Structure 1
Amino acid sequence: MVLFATPVVVAQRSAPAPSDPTPRLADGTPNLGRIPGEKGIWNVPWIRNMGLRIDRREGGSDLPSSGGAVGLVGHDVKRDGSRLEPLVPFMPWSAAVYDYHVANESKYDPEGYCLPPGGPRMMATPYPMEIIQLPEQKRIIMTFEGATHIWREIYLDGRPHPTGDALNPTYLGHSVGRWDGDTLVVDVVGFNEGSWIDYSGHPHTDMLHVVEKFTRPNKNTLHYEVTIDDPGAYTKPWTAGWNIAWRANGELAEYICQENNQYLLRLTDDFGQPLFERKR
């Protein structure tokens, strides 16, 4: 046997350039958006399965915090559902619903019908995002290029959540926030049941309570952490997190869901027939 050796060239990798420090507002609060005169957006990654992004400090090894291959699902990757996600504290019914979504390749995904992603899924859908801080109004606006240009409002004026009939269930819920040092902590309630937690199809009920944490450790990184607390669907809260990268010079572009309907061409009924036909 003759063995042929192929020369191996080892590329010298230079250390990544250090990121600029966290920009701040006049009062010292971290600036989660653009500085005056700057262009740029947050390049939200596609986190298809939050069950594979769970904070494992309660047991197991840590998962990568940036958008890599972990948790990504495509047509060439088999998904086995709840049995491969032991850290997601499913109830029997929510595990069954999730397994159904997985088995059917998420063909009933509400977002495929141009409905808002809602809740933490907005931070896991790969469309640019802009954060606008309005300290004089004590609120923050987050705008998203996708999801029919959806936007959310976070109140920082100390108001409580509405209660009773005053709390109108919506896709985005009602958000109130506060600063804990350099971390923005957002408490969200008042969700309807029209969305999924993520693309893979983790379900939720209208009892969903979300706690989000936004931290900008440097100019080019926004760390996002979300705790899912839904006693109607899960036996205990669970937490996932990832990094979102800053894209300099980026801007939000026009997005019309009706004209971006390639997703719908993949949807099939229970007999495998297309729900929507391509126009010829």
Structure 2
Amino acid sequence: MRNRFFHSILTTLTLLAFSSVAFAQASHDLSGVWISRRDGKTVVDTNLRPPMTPWAQARFDAAVPTVGPRVIAGKENDPILRCNPDGIPKLLGVPQPFEIIQIPNRMLMFFEHNRHWRTIWMDGRKLSEDPDPAWMGYSVGKWEGNTLVVESTGFNDIPWLDFYGDPHSDAMRLTERYRRIDPDTLEITVTINDPKAYTKTWVNQPKLYNLKRDWEIAEHYCVIDEETAYGDAIRVPAGQSGNTPK
């Protein structure tokens, strides 16, 4: 009886050890389709936003978002209404899923929203100090323990950081930290360093994403004819009537 008891304990401990090793190995594998738990809420925390510089404040004051208390129906000017790319980090807050694909020297992120994609270089290269401005920036990543740290520069200043009109400049340096906290949960933390736009570093709370093992990325494009038709049929009439479209 005693031998059977100890054999049972040994078996349990062995299984736990193998499970721990397997998850530790999987922690460096972020492949799969992920979706935000926040149902389309922004990945940056506006309540933690540092004071804006005069340059950023002027950009913010001129922004008319499609959501939130500053909406003016029919007057919205979010760059995405012209089918411009959302950019990073805004894409991390959209309600549609994204897929991560890892190959030896890079990580690819494919976003269902407007079929955007980005490359994160994992081959040990240094972050470029003067890259050409791009919608998704220029990104390099490395593992620090079980956390993937992604550093990005080289953004153009057209996209907003979120849906509410918070701007960023072409001097923005973005740090993303990806950590797989269990097999089906990914944690992403975004930190924004943009001295042209904000007087301090903008440190945001971690956001959680669920793994969808049997999902596929669907086709979702921004079509300018559809955006124009929607504006003519809904946004502009709503603004003229004083009602805000939902």
- TM-score (normalised: structure 1): 0.66
Further displaced range: 90-99 or 218-227? 90-99
The C-alpha deviation readout for 1:32-79, integer Å capped at 9, x for no partner, is: 123xxxxxx21134123723464xxxxxxxxxxxxxxxxxxxxxxxxx
1:1-280 correspondence runs (5 A) = 30-34=28-32, 41-44=33-36, 45-48=39-42, 50-52=44-46, 54=48, 87-101=49-63, 103-105=70-72, 107-135=76-104, 138-147=105-114, 149-164=115-130, 167-240=131-204, 241-258=206-223, 261=227, 264=231, 267-268=235-236, 272=239
* Helix, strand or coil at the partner of 1:50: coil
Q: Normalising by structure 2, report the TM-score.
A: 0.75
Contact 1:49 1:199 in 2 (8 A): no
CA drift of 1:96 comes to 3.9
For structure 2, the 5+ residue unaligned runs are 1-18, 65-69, 242-246
Q: Secondary structure at the match of 2:107?
A: strand
Instruction: Measure the CA separation in 2 of the matches of 1:255 and 1:52.
Output: 28
Where structure 1 has 5 or more consecutive residues not aligned to the other structure, the ranges are 1-19, 35-40, 55-86, 275-280
> Could you tell me how far 1:119 is from its partner in structure 2?
1.5
Structure 1: distance between partners of 2:188 and 2:210: 11
Distance 1:94 1:23, change over 3 A: farther
Alignment size in residue pairs:
210
Q: 4+ residue stretches of structure 1 with deviation over 6 A?
A: 20-23
Q: Secondary structure at the match of 1:112?
A: helix
What is the distance in 2 between the residues matched to 1:23 and 1:130? Answer: 22
Q: Percent identity?
A: 34
Q: Which amino acid aligns with 1:118?
A: G
For residues 187-220 of structure 1, give each alpha carbon's deviation from its aligned partner in whole angstroms, at most 9, with x where no partner exists: 0000011111111110011001100001110122
**Cross-structure match for 2:244:** none
Structure showing the higher helix proportion among its residues: 2
CA-to-partner distance for each residue in 1:216-259, whole Å, 9 max, x for gaps? Answer: 10122111111111111000111113111222311111112117
Q: Distance in 1 between the 2:124 and 2:148 partners?
A: 14
Once superposed, what is the RMSD of the aligned Cα atoms?
3.0
The more displaced of 108-117 and 239-248 is 239-248
SS of the residue aligned with 1:170?
A: coil
Please report how far the alpha carbon of residue 95 of structure 1 lies from its aligned counterpart in structure 2 after TM superposition: 2.8
> Match of 2:63, SS?
helix
